[in-house]
Structure 1
Amino acid sequence: MKIAFVGKGGSGKTTLAALFLRHLAAERPAPALLALDADINQHLAVALGATDAQAAALPTLGEHLPRIKDYLRGDNPRILSADDMVKTTPPGRGSRLLRIDEDSPLHRDFVRPVDGVPLAVAGAFAADDLGVACYHSKVGAVELMLNHMVDGGDEYAVVDMTAGADAFASGLFTRFDVTFLVCEPTVRSVGVYRQYLGYARDFGVRVAVVGNKVSDGEDLDFLRDEVGDDLLTWVGRSAHVRAAERGEVRPIELLEPENRAALRAMRALVDGVEKDWPTYQRQAVEFHVRNARAWAHRSGRDLTEQVDPEFVPGPVAMSR
């Protein structure tokens, strides 16, 4: 399953993404797992337990986008070269499809274990990018990988997204089976929830709210009043999380029982979702056509011709 963590900046979405990933990694039997940091602020590695130096040394997807494109296009006859691919290019017959934990060149080159969690990072927004680049050019590598990724039961790709509504600058927000929106019991955080829900409503995006930093009954009542049935579960104030914020990442087994129960509720929701590969491909094609018509035509080529109308990804396509 493909899972996103979104929310207002400072809401704790990266912290909760890390807790959820470490919870999954500690399960027995351990599921297939891949973490992807697509936030403009690259903090997921540190939240998982890496030092700042280790996080800075991780290979980045954004710096190797042409190589990633060339690998994914395979021998798809509709894509003439890696230069012809854009971040929304959908897979078709001949494209290379990815599995969550396969031994592919992309996994070998860009995925590194952090406290038992395989992690790939889009890359930070550097000083050289100021004024000349958009961060979504780096996140494009994540979008392409998700477009070409076939995941099955007990397999999880977990993405820490950019804060707020920045994810709507591309079709990336539709690439997930479940989107966990992390919401503090504050007016500003609820405002981001409403904005996100308003944008996502027309695309069938499954949004579940996870309350965070819930101190007491008043906080919980506030979230229930403002969010309603979208509130799946909540995480209370946590000494375990505070320790992690100070750089002390404790074993997930030491997380407070009530907060660990929230992580179990999140996994249970994900596991109950049924994959819909035709809809997944249809949305990928829809956003690719939008991009092609708006700005992505290159050298006079009609990039809508990259769409393979008879192709649907999934385990069946993977086995061919």
Structure 2
Amino acid sequence: MKIAFVGKGGSGKTTLSSLFVRYLAASGAPVVAVDADINQHLGVALGLDEFEAAAIPAMGERLPEIKEYLRGANPRISSAAAMVKTTPPGYGSRLLRIGGDDPIHERLTVEASGARLMVTGPFTDDDLGHSKTGAVELYLNHLVDEPGEYVVVDCTAGAESFASGMFTRFDLTFLVAEPTRKGVSVYRQWTDYAADYDVALKVIGNKVHGPEDVAFLREQVGDALLGCVGDSSAVRAMEQGRPFTLTDLADPDRRMLAAMREAVDARPKDWPKFTRQAIEFHLKNADAWANSATGEDLKAQIDPGFVLGPEAMTAALPAVR
């Protein structure tokens, strides 16, 4: 399952995404965590020190290699340079599995709290909307995940994901919101943007101090509110770099993590919709900028008979490596 954590800066989405990654990994589930935020803090939140986190190979710096590998023998893609962040896979493309022995997972992940962690790398002004998040979108577009397997993406704050369609790449999106007008304004922004794309969204209230805060969030977001978490001394210890395990969490916080996993596992896997949305946004990007940027008609990259999913693993290439 593909899961996104979104929210305004400072809402606590990195902290909650790291707790969810730890929770899934502690159950023995295969988990890939991806730090796609402008501020790269997920590695430290997962227990790495700052030097270890900074040394993780960055996806954005290896975008040409990622493209070349994923392109495989797909005859519809003329070159890796002609691939853009929305380029969908087709017959001949190399597809990915969580925990697979492919060079992307082998070379670009490190172990952190029982999960495999990948990072986009530090952002610059020139990166926004381009190589960094583009590497993540290509990864998600070529990833075949099965039930009981999870990829958790800590997304950049704001509306950057809407520039290409990455917001449709997830089975469930958790929006972390503080019980303030500014906090719920992010929820309205997301629902407005995603209204026409059947995006599953659940709100997690964070920094909640009492029933009044819960009532405020319920009034503002309705049934989208899955639950709330408050201040936690155990989480504060984790954020300060002190020893931490999930058993340090209070019972309500552990129940919240369990409810989040239950919500994720209840989502149906709709590979035709996932493929259809990828094509839709690729066509939009081709017309808007990608055709002129590459000098090619990128609509020709779409393979009309291809649907991503487990069956495509054997049809895409005889061997994945």
TM-score (norm 2): 0.96
- After superposition, residues 204-219 of structure 1 pair within 5 angstroms as 204-219=198-213
- After superposition, residues 56-75 of structure 1 pair within 5 angstroms as 56-75=54-73
* Offset, 1:166: 2.1
- After superposition, residues 32-111 of structure 1 pair within 5 angstroms as 32-111=30-109
Q: Given residue 299 of structure 2, which amino acid in structure 1 is its aligned partner? A: T
Q: Deviations over 1:124-161 (max 9, x none)?
A: 11xxx44x443532110000010000001100010000
2:318 equivalent in structure 1: none
* Offset, 1:246: 1.3
Q: State how far apart, in whole Å, the 1-side matches of 2:47 and 2:154 are.
A: 15
Query: Secondary structure of 1:87's match?
Result: coil
Q: Deviations over 1:30-74 (max 9, x none)?
A: 111100111111100011111111111111000000000000010
Q: CA RMSD in A?
A: 1.1
2:5–2:174 Cα contact (<8 Å) kept? yes
Q: Deviations over 1:82-105 (max 9, x none)?
A: 011000000000000100111111
1:19 equivalent in structure 2: 19
Q: How many residues are paired up?
A: 314
Pair 1:183 & 2:183 matched: no
Q: Given residue 309 of structure 2, which amino acid in structure 1 is its aligned partner? A: G
2:319 equivalent in structure 1: none
Q: State how far apart, in whole Å, the 2-side matches of 1:133 and 1:68 are.
A: 17
Q: Given residue 3 of structure 2, which amino acid in structure 1 is its aligned partner? A: I
Pair 1:156 & 2:150 matched: yes
Pair 1:301 & 2:309 matched: no
* Offset, 1:122: 0.5
Pair 1:122 & 2:117 matched: no
Q: Given residue 11 of structure 1, which amino acid in structure 2 is its aligned partner? A: S
Q: State how far apart, in whole Å, the 2-side matches of 1:290 and 1:124 are.
A: 28
1:164–1:196 Cα contact (<8 Å) kept? no
* Offset, 1:115: 2.0
2:82–2:294 Cα contact (<8 Å) kept? no
Pair 1:315 & 2:310 matched: yes
* Offset, 1:123: 0.6
* Offset, 1:262: 0.3
2:36–2:156 Cα contact (<8 Å) kept? yes
Q: State how far apart, in whole Å, the 2-side matches of 1:208 and 1:133 are.
A: 29
Gapped regions of structure 2 (runs ≥ 5): 316-321
Q: State how far apart, in whole Å, the 2-side matches of 1:209 and 1:21 are.
A: 17
Q: State how far apart, in whole Å, the 2-side matches of 1:12 and 1:252 are.
A: 17
Q: Given residue 218 of structure 1, which amino acid in structure 2 is its aligned partner? A: E
1:209–1:230 Cα contact (<8 Å) kept? yes
* Offset, 1:244: 1.6
Query: Secondary structure of 2:195's match?
Result: helix
Pair 1:241 & 2:235 matched: yes
Q: State how far apart, in whole Å, the 1-side matches of 2:99 and 2:229 are.
A: 29
1:40–1:135 Cα contact (<8 Å) kept? no
Q: Given residue 306 of structure 2, which amino acid in structure 1 is its aligned partner? A: F
Q: Provide closer, same or farther for how the CA distance between residues 299 and 191 of structure 1 changes in structure 2, counting only shifts above 3 A.
A: closer
Instruction: Tell which deviates more after alignment, 111-120 or 245-254.
Output: 245-254
1:49–1:249 Cα contact (<8 Å) kept? no
Q: Deviations over 1:251-297 (max 9, x none)?
A: 11211111010000000011011100000000000111111111111
Q: Provide closer, same or farther for how the CA distance between residues 54 and 300 of structure 1 changes in structure 2, counting only shifts above 3 A.
A: closer
Q: State how far apart, in whole Å, the 1-side matches of 2:66 and 2:11 are.
A: 32
1:257 equivalent in structure 2: 251
* Offset, 1:299: 5.1
Query: Secondary structure of 1:153's match?
Result: coil
Q: Provide closer, same or farther for how the CA distance between residues 249 and 136 of structure 1 changes in structure 2, counting only shifts above 3 A.
A: farther
Instruction: Tell which deviates more after alignment, 34-43 or 134-143.
Output: 134-143
Q: Deviations over 1:171-210 (max 9, x none)?
A: 1110000000001111100011111111011111000001
2:30–2:115 Cα contact (<8 Å) kept? no
Instruction: Tell which deviates more after alignment, 134-143 or 287-296.
Output: 134-143
Gapped regions of structure 1 (runs ≥ 5): none
1:88–1:287 Cα contact (<8 Å) kept? yes
